[in-house]
């Protein structure tokens, strides 16, 4: 089971493919990070942002996870407004369990 919560019925083919790829990366942690962001944002992304998200999907899981967690410095060519939105989407300012 992928974890996907968004229907792709209203999306064009390109966005459907991106949504699928975001949920099927190979590393479960990255499926959750990229997939949840895609569920929430794919319908609202501009064409330029879609292209940027496709480029992020092509990055290696371990590199991307390191950039998101801050363990690895994000290369300048990936340190974009969309990447920052992705990072902020998964920032928790309160405990996960209350």
Q: What is the pLDDT of residues 63-93, one digit of tens each?
A: 999 999 899 999 999 999 999 999 988 776 6
Taking the mean position of all CA atoms in its chain, how far away is CA 52?
11
In this prediction, residue 8 has a pLDDT band, given cuts at 50, 70 and 90, of low
Domains of the chain from N-terminus onward: 13-89 (1.10.150.250)
The answer to whether residues 18 and 39 touch, using CB atoms and an 8 Å cutoff, is no
The separation between the first and the last C-alpha atoms of the chain, rounded to the nearest angstrom, is: 27
- d(CA 5, CA 39) in angstroms, rounded, equals 7
For the entire predicted model, the pTM comes to 0.82
DSSP class of residue 9 equals: T
pLDDT tens digits for range 11-70: 789 989 999 999 999 899 999 999 999 999 998 999 999 999 999 999 999 999 999 989
pLDDT at 80: 95
pLDDT at 4: 62
The answer to whether residues 39 and 15 touch, using CB atoms and an 8 Å cutoff, is no
């Amino acid at each position: 089971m992928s974890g996907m919560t968004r229907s792709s019925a209203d999306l064009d083919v390109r966005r459907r493919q991106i949504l699928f790829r975001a949920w099927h990366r190979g590393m479960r942690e990255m499926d959750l990070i990229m997939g949840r962001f895609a569920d929430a944002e794919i319908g609202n992304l501009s064409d330029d942002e879609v292209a940027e998200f496709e480029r992020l999907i092509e990055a290696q899981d371990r590199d991307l996870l390191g950039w998101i967690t801050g363990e690895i410095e994000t290369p300048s060519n990936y340190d974009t407004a969309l990447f920052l939105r992705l990072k902020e989407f998964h920032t928790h300012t309160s405990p996960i369990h209350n």
